[in-house]
Amino acid sequence: MNEFLQLLIVGISQGCIYGLMALGFVMIYKATEMVNFAQGDMMMLGSFVAWTLIMDLGMPFWLGVPATLIVMALFGALVDILIVRRVIGQPQFAVIILTLGLGIIFRAAAGMIWGHVPLTIDSPISGFSSFYGIVIGNERLVIIAVTALLITILWTYFRYSKWGVAMKATSQNQLAAYYSGIPVRVIISAVWAVAAAISALAGILLAPITLIEPMNGLLGIKAFAAAVIGGFGSMPGAILGGLIVGIIEPFAAAYIPAVKGSMVYIVMLIVLALRPQGLFAQIHKKKL
Amino acid sequence: MRILFKTNYKQDLNLAKHSGHRFWYGLLILVLLAAPLILDGYYIGEATRVLIFAMAGLGLMVVTGFTGQVSLGHAAFLLIGAYTNAWFLAQGFSSFIALPMAALLSMIGGLLVAIPAARMSGIYLAIATLVFAIIVEDVAGHLSSITGGNRGMMVDVPMLFGYQIWQSWELYLFVLIILVAATLIVLNILRSPLGRAMIAVRDSEVSSQALGVNPMKIKVFAFTVSAAITGLAGAFLAHYMLFLTPQIFGILLSIQLLLMIVLGGLGTVHGVFFGAVLIGVLETGISIAKDALPSSIGGLPGIEPLVFGVILVSVIAFEPTGIYSRWVKIRSYMEFFPIYRRKSFKRQRVYLKTERLK
């Protein structure tokens, strides 16, 4: 029983990371109908930026984290303004290749700047908590708490703030939003900024658990699986999908070690075969 | 400007539309056949790799370019083809058995993917195929009794009529002949009703259904043919690599294949070859240029993928429809010289309008 709970909490905290990354995918997908295959690499860049600010330039941790988020938000907006904006309205293939290419560039650039030797960030959160016979790392509890907080903030933002509503409108119909006076271009850049900041946060949260290295960007594929399980157009679905993926992993590793690497993907294929729209998808009409 | 004067209905069915086509493609094939006389071993090896990638790209083009189903998992078919070929050769069969078996097994793999995949579309399909490739790679790593697992597997040289193909130019010619045959098969499929149905499914699934095409059947057919061709390419890739590990066939290879055909120009057979040549020239060119640069720049780790990525992104940002469409523009500029209009290739942008409720 204790082992079960232990695995569950580890899974939930890992799932929160995947959920945050999936959230980034889903936001960009909803706003621009583009799939950002470079999301995982943006997370990786975020953790490297945090390393530079905190470990290299010596910023205090609590200042370094918001600074990283701002840097990465600016970076996300710049990527949109300089590169991605050009392919809006182009066929899906162009978009997929563009973001895949961006991912390759980010990974190579990170390898050139920060090297391929794994780095660590000294986090102020350390130690273990134990309750009901479970021992759990404090940083895992922080991940869960931060994710819960972020979801609340995002929900309020999309529900009540003017910009949040404008983002939702843009994601439904770009032309109509434009006619209603919403600055669609600015909104899309803002969505990229928010998505980049969220994935940078995921990168910072992940840093104490795993080491920081350029290949971390490939975790994006698991976040993809999460977004697919959740249904690629639903923000609560992204978080739930992330949790499902996160929980499957430690249990597969503990009970069915032969398939621990691909269990997540097998589950994803089953979900896709049964419900091609994802578990929590919203209604789509088929376009002609 | 050439004006075609049609005197026979059968003229519309010809593969080569006019004598210019016959002349230039004939010349191309002659040059390719004569290449081993001119080039030395290293460049013949590079050319062989370009041809193998062109074959794999041809397979991917059938399903992605002509049927509109994005596949990010074609490395899986390469893997199946490569290992099947290597296994049959290791058991002492000749290439006459091993190559068809590679195509056949990978075709069965394609069929397995196609049946669920035919129900999906767009991004879900891309991710499902990506995941299929990850699982196949994982399985190949675990089946160590057949594939040698992660320790790898040696590949025997091809055997034809008891003759072993050792020389690099012999392998080059072998690949070239099979590639020309595969290209002719694809071209012939494309001018048959099946091929036109594939293109109809790509352009609009609903309209093709209204015209009596069954999109499911067409997609399954396209996947199967595509997997067979890619599996064959995988078999040759095994001969080119000489040593197989599952890691070779990772996600990056699938991505590279997709990049190749998109850069070349989706939906054209020319695009496959343009893309394969571009990727081949880029890789060889970057590694040559790296040696020429001062070691402070050229010696940096990761400069190759960086340059590669930058070129990819700039091609997509400035010519999203690929190199072939740039070539078509240049050609029509010359054909219509004084009266060419840039706007005739302008495409309408599509703005996002979803039917989502939230």
Q: How confident is the model at residue B158 (pLDDT cuts 50, 70, 90)?
A: confident
Distance from CA of B89 to the nearest CA of A (A): 29
Measure Cα distances from A76 to A19, A24, A257, B53 in Å: 19, 11, 38, 34
For B290, other C-beta atoms within 10 Å of its C-beta total 16
Taking alpha carbons only, the member of B57, B205, B81 closest to residue B155 is B81
Say yes or no: B355 contacts chain A, CB-CB below 8 A.
Answer: yes
Q: Is the dihedral of CA A164, A168, A170, A175 positive or negative?
A: negative
Q: How high is the pLDDT of residue A70? A: 93
122-161 of A, contacting B, C-beta below 8 A: none
For A237, other C-beta atoms within 10 Å of its C-beta total 25
In the predicted structure, residue B349 carries a pLDDT above the cut 70: no
A33, A100, A185, best to mutate vs chain B, most B CBs in 10 Å: A100
Please indicate whether, in this complex, the C-beta atoms of A101 and B127 are within 8 angstroms of each other.
Answer: no
Of residues A100, A108, A258, nearest to B302 (C-beta): A108
Taking alpha carbons only, the member of A84, A95, A266, A26 closest to residue B70 is A95
Q: How confident is the model at residue A284 (pLDDT cuts 50, 70, 90)?
A: low
Measure Cα distances from A136 to A12, A240, B209 in Å: 12, 22, 56
Report yes or no: B74 and B230 within 8 Å, Cβ to Cβ.
Answer: yes
Q: Which spans in chain B are helix H?
A: 19-38, 41-60, 74-90, 95-117, 122-142, 144-147, 168-190, 193-203, 205-210, 215-241, 251-264, 269-292, 295-298, 303-318, 323-335
Residue B132 CA to residue A245 CA, distance in Å, equals 17
Comparing B24 with A273, which gets the higher pLDDT? B24
Stretch B236-250: mean pLDDT, rounded? 88
Say yes or no: B124 contacts chain A, CB-CB below 8 A.
Answer: yes
Report chain B's C-alpha Rg in angstroms: 21
Comparing B163 with B349, which gets the higher pLDDT? B163
Q: How high is the pLDDT of residue B356? A: 44
Stretch A268-272: mean pLDDT, rounded? 83
Residue range B113-157, pLDDT digits in tens: 888 888 777 777 888 888 888 888 888 888 877 777 777 788 877
Average per-residue pLDDT for chain B: 84
Residue B323 CA to residue A42 CA, distance in Å, equals 29
Q: How high is the pLDDT of residue B351? A: 57
Structural domains of chain B ordered from first start: 39-344 (1.10.3470)
In the predicted structure, residue B331 carries a pLDDT above the cut 60: yes
Say yes or no: A233 contacts chain B, CB-CB below 8 A.
Answer: yes
Q: Which residues of A touch B135 (CB under 8 A)?
A: 262, 265-266, 269
Establish if A285 belongs to a structural domain.
no
163-192 of B, contacting A, C-beta below 8 A: none
Q: Look up tokens 């050769």; give the residue.
A: B89
Measure Cα distances from A157 to A99, A175, A190, A232, B228 in Å: 27, 23, 13, 20, 51
Q: Look up tokens 């195929």; give the residue.
A: B129
Report yes or no: B51 and B179 within 8 Å, Cβ to Cβ.
Answer: yes
Of residues A174, A277, A284, nearest to B352 (C-beta): A174
Establish if A274 belongs to a structural domain.
no
Report yes or no: B222 and B50 within 8 Å, Cβ to Cβ.
Answer: no
Residue A54 CA to residue A52 CA, distance in Å, equals 6
Taking alpha carbons only, the member of B294, B65, B308, B77 closest to residue B198 is B65
Q: How confident is the model at residue B188 (pLDDT cuts 50, 70, 90)?
A: very high
Stretch B216-220: mean pLDDT, rounded? 92
Stretch A187-211: mean pLDDT, rounded? 88
Buried/exposed A128-144: b ≥16 CB within 10 Å, e otherwise: eeeeeebebbebbebbb
Q: Which residues of A touch B120 (CB under 8 A)?
A: 272, 276
Boundaries of domain holding A176: 2-216
Average per-residue pLDDT for chain A: 83
Establish if A45 belongs to a structural domain.
yes
In the predicted structure, residue B357 carries a pLDDT above the cut 50: no
* Lowest mean pLDDT segment, chosen from A2-16, B2-16, B129-143, B165-179: B2-16
CB pairs under 8 A between A and B: 164
Establish if A255 belongs to a structural domain.
no
A41: CB partners within 8 A, 6+ apart: A102, A103, A106, A107, A110, A217, A220
Comparing B159 with B240, which gets the higher pLDDT? B240
DSSP label at B34?
Answer: H
Please indicate whether, in this complex, the C-beta atoms of A175 and B353 are within 8 angstroms of each other.
Answer: yes
Q: How high is the pLDDT of residue A256? A: 79
Report yes or no: B243 and B251 within 8 Å, Cβ to Cβ.
Answer: no
| DSSP bridge partners of A173 | B353
In the predicted structure, residue A169 carries a pLDDT above the cut 50: yes
Q: Quick check: ipTM above 0.85? A: no
3-state secondary structure string across B328-339:
HHHHHHHHCHHH
* Lowest mean pLDDT segment, chosen from A111-120, A262-271, B49-58, B315-324: B315-324
Establish if A239 belongs to a structural domain.
no
In terms of CA atoms, which chain A residue is nearest residue B136? A262
Stretch A26-52: mean pLDDT, rounded? 86
Residue A6 CA to residue A17 CA, distance in Å, equals 17
Q: How high is the pLDDT of residue A251? A: 85
* Lowest mean pLDDT segment, chosen from A258-272, B173-187, B211-225: A258-272
Measure Cα distances from A164 to A104, A150, A159, A171, B121 in Å: 31, 14, 7, 11, 29
Q: How high is the pLDDT of residue B12? A: 77
Q: Which pair of structure tokens corresponds to residue A47?
A: 């953790």
Establish if A137 belongs to a structural domain.
yes
Q: Which pair of structure tokens corresponds to residue A150?
A: 């972020």
DSSP label at B61?
Answer: I
Report chain A's C-alpha Rg in angstroms: 19
Residue B270's Cβ-count burial label (10 Å; 0-12, 13-18, 19+) is middle
For A122, other C-beta atoms within 10 Å of its C-beta total 10
Distance from CA of A10 to the nearest CA of B (A): 24
Residue range B30-40, pLDDT digits in tens: 988 888 888 88
What is the tally of structural domains in chain A? 1
80-119 of A, contacting B, C-beta below 8 A: 83, 86-94, 96-98, 100-105, 107-109, 111-112, 116
DSSP label at B301?
Answer: T
Establish if A159 belongs to a structural domain.
yes
Residue range B1-35, pLDDT digits in tens: 677 788 888 877 777 777 778 888 889 889 888 88
Ordered DSSP codes for chain A: -HHHHHHHHHHHHHHHHHHHHHHHHHHHHHHHS---TTHHHHHHHHHHHHHIIIIIS---HHHHHHHHHHHHHHHHHHHHHHTGGGGTTS-HHHHHHHHHHHHHHHHHHHHHHH-SS-B----S--SEEEETTEEEEHHHHHHHHHHHHHHHHHHHHHHH-HHHHHHHHHHHBHHHHHHTT--HHHHHHHHHHHHHHHHHHHHHHHTTTS-B-GGGGGGHHHHHHHHHHH-TT-HHHHHHHHHHHHHHHHHHHHH-GGGTTTHHHHHHHHHHHH-TT-TTPPP-PPP-
Say yes or no: B354 contacts chain A, CB-CB below 8 A.
Answer: yes
233-262 of B, contacting A, C-beta below 8 A: 251, 255, 258-259, 262
Q: Which residues of B touch A90 (CB under 8 A)?
A: 320, 349
Q: How high is the pLDDT of residue A74? A: 95
Taking alpha carbons only, the member of A102, A98, A85 closest to residue B315 is A98
Please indicate whether, in this complex, the C-beta atoms of B352 and A233 are within 8 angstroms of each other.
Answer: no
Of residues B121, B135, B303, nearest to A262 (C-beta): B135
3-state secondary structure string across A251-272:
HHHHHCHHHCCCHHHHHHHHHH
Q: How high is the pLDDT of residue A287? A: 45
Q: How high is the pLDDT of residue B120? A: 76
Distance from CA of B256 to the nearest CA of A (A): 10
Distance from CA of A149 to the nearest CA of B (A): 23
Residue A286's Cβ-count burial label (10 Å; 0-12, 13-18, 19+) is exposed
Q: How confident is the model at residue B70 (pLDDT cuts 50, 70, 90)?
A: confident
Q: Which residues of B touch A87 (CB under 8 A)?
A: 316-317, 320
Establish if A276 belongs to a structural domain.
no
In terms of CA atoms, which chain A residue is nearest residue B348? A89
In the predicted structure, residue B284 carries a pLDDT above the cut 90: no
Reduced to 3 states, what is the DSSP secondary structure of residue B128?
helix
Stretch A251-280: mean pLDDT, rounded? 78
